[in-house]
Structure 1
Amino acid sequence: MAVEPEAEQPPPPPAHRWGIGAFLLVEAALLLSAVFISAILQPSDSGQPAGVTTILVGSILPVFIATGVALLITRIRGNGPKIDLRWSYSRADFKIGLKFGLIGLVLTTIAAMAWTRIVGEQNATSAFSALVDGHSLPISAAIVMFLYAWLIGPMCEEIIFRGLLWGALERLQWGRWAVFALSTAVFAVSHLEPLRTSLLIVIGIPIGLARLYSGRLGASVVAHQVNNFLPALTVLLISLGVMAP
């Protein structure tokens, strides 16, 4: 019986040509676009407070711009986000992400309660949640904010931190646990909320573990989205006036 020749395996894709500089460029794009958009949307009357919708646009649009820059870098200097960022969204990714997300939800709820006792409720509020304090939003704006905080924002942040930064550190031949630790710390610090940095580290740990154990970005995206669901729902109910702040 003739033996069928083995099919030739396609060669592995070339290593990407982006590193820490790409991550720093994305962070610069985030900060500069935030400053630029804030300046454009600032009310002409300096004594007049900015509208909530204006604040939302100023908060969300820079993240979209930074994420777009990150994805563009993988196209220009690499093999695209699917290969370079290890992007996938399979059933296995969902199961791993759901498991770590639920674990993280329990841990971060406990950590948030303890943190609130330490620093006080006013200081424990996130910058995004503070946008709805004392405001009743239109339903459309409240839904946009909910979807961003629950689904879209976590995806963008994972592309930047557990995608681009993670890949940049791997390119430096860092060990997987060192990559996990540094990306988690940078994720927390990059939110620019000094009082909540330690809490954000706790939030980032299960999300980073989903990326570490799966080896793929999709699992950490799901974990982040699961972790953000209850806080996003709370902000939605407060913004609609259903729940007291």
Structure 2
Amino acid sequence: MAVPNPGEPVSGDPSPVSPPPPRWGFGAFLLVEAVLLASAALIGAILHSGGGGLSVRSVLIGTMLPTVIAASTALVITKVRGNGPLADLNLSWSWDDVKLGLKLGALGLVVTSVGAWIWTEIVGERNAQSAISALVEGQPMSVQAAVVMFLYLWLLGPICEEIIYRGLLWSATERLEWRKEKWGRLAAFGLSTAVFAVSHLEPLRTTLLLVISIPIGLARLITGRLLGSIVAHQMNNFLPAVAILLTALGIVEA
């Protein structure tokens, strides 16, 4: 009788063993959030140390670098303490997820536009401005710098933020041992939505950010994967990014 070689699949063997559970949880998210806040504070202090107005390069570095550093830290944690971002953050390609993300992102655009109009009427145009809008206002920018800012707000920024909130925080919440699967996903949706809004550190816009975040979180909740929320977030950010681009170029008055 033939004896199979070691490692050779044998008929009737069970399915491949699932990867071990990640060795990271809420502590990993808190570390990434601390990295985000600390790097933003440090970079901001360095940029302001020279006095005078911020240069275009300074605005771009101060806006983009902290979020990129924090998201990169999250990816490293999943690699070192888990099974990598694809497995730990449920990040995989699916056209169905892209389509749903586009639909919910379009819904988010409507919700955002209506919510922003209502919020502006309540708190005034100045108080309703985002931090990035305030940074860009009055800052002369070259075409290249304005395009880089646009691409960050539309594409890169949402990827980084989704890795942190609907990726790391969501997965940590969903894996809590005491929860039932259904309630774990709903808890992850609620917590990530609230933390995402609060973490922008814009108190007057927190309520608006909660509204904006709901369609994005729904994409993660419905698909169970991160790609849908990334696409929804990018779709939701597109028109605001275009508005900031046109403002930065002086085409549209702030």
- The TM-score normalised by the length of structure 2 is 0.91
What's the counterpart of residue 23 of structure 1? Answer: 29
**Bigger Cα displacement from structure 2, 156-165 vs 172-181:** 172-181
Q: CA deviation at 1:153?
A: 0.1
Runs ≥4 in structure 1, deviation > 4 angstroms? 4-8
Match of 1:11 among 14, 17, 22: 17
Give the Å deviation of 1:138: 0.3
Alignment deviations for residues 33-70 of structure 1 (CA, whole Å, 9 cap, x no partner): 112222222242x3x12223202201210111101110
Q: Report how far residue 7 of structure 1 moved.
A: 6.7
Q: Does 1:34 align with 2:63?
A: no
Unmatched 5+ residue regions in structure 2?
1-9
Matched AA of 2:17: P
- For residue 214 of structure 1, report the CA deviation from its aligned partner: 0.2
Equivalent AA in structure 1 for residue 189 of structure 2: F
Larger Rg: 2
CA distance in 2 between counterparts of 1:130 and 1:188 reads 18
Take 1:223 and 1:67, find their aligned partners in 2: how far apart are those partners?
18
| More moved, 29-38 vs 183-192 | 29-38
CA-to-partner distance for each residue in 1:99-148, whole Å, 9 max, x for gaps?
11111111111111100110111110100111111223101110010000
- Is 1:241 the counterpart of 2:247? The answer is no
Correspondence 1:89 to 2:93: yes
1:175-214 paired onto structure 2 within 5 Å: 175=183, 176-214=185-223
Tell me by how many angstroms 1:8 deviates: 4.4
2:128 paired with 1:119? no
Partners of 2:69 and 2:132 in 1: how far apart? 18
Aligned-partner Cα distance in 2 for 1:43–1:14: 47
How far residue 87 of structure 1 moved from its aligned partner, in angstroms, is: 0.4
- For 1:127 and 1:140, the matched residues in 2 are separated by 21
- Find the partner of 1:76 among 58, 73, 80: 80
C-alpha distance in 1, partners of 2:161/2:216? 11
CA–CA separation in structure 2 for the residues paired with 1:7 and 1:211: 34
User: 3-state DSSP class of the match of 1:229?
Assistant: helix
* Kept in 1: contact 2:39–2:66 (CA 8 A): yes
Instruction: Name the amino acid aligned to 2:42.
Output: F
**1:68-112 deviation per Cα after TM superposition (whole angstroms, max 9, x unaligned):** 110000001100000000001321110111111111111111111
Q: Show the 5 A alignment for 1:81-160.
A: 81-160=85-164
Question: Do residues 225 (structure 1) and 234 (structure 2) align?
Answer: yes
2:66 is aligned to 62
Q: Any conservation in 2 of the 1:188–1:198 contact (CA below 8 Å)?
A: yes
Give the number of equivalent residue pairs. Answer: 240
The letter for the 1-side match of 2:94 is: S
1:43–1:49: 8 Å Cα contact kept in structure 2? no
| Superposed CA RMSD | 1.4
Deviates more, 1:197-206 or 1:172-181: 172-181
Q: 157-166 or 85-94: which moved more?
A: 85-94
Range that drifts further, 218-227 or 124-133: 124-133
Q: Is the 8 A contact 1:102 1:226 kept in 2?
A: yes
Percent of pairs with identical residues = 59
User: Matches of 1:6 and 1:223 in 2, distance apart?
Assistant: 43
- Give, in whole Å, the separation in 1 of the partners of 2:207 and 2:187: 18
- Which residue identity is paired with 2:229? S
Equivalent residue letter for 2:34: A
Q: Which moved more, 1:170-179 or 1:64-73?
A: 170-179
Q: Write the distance in 2 (CA, Å) between the matches of 1:195 and 1:42.
A: 24
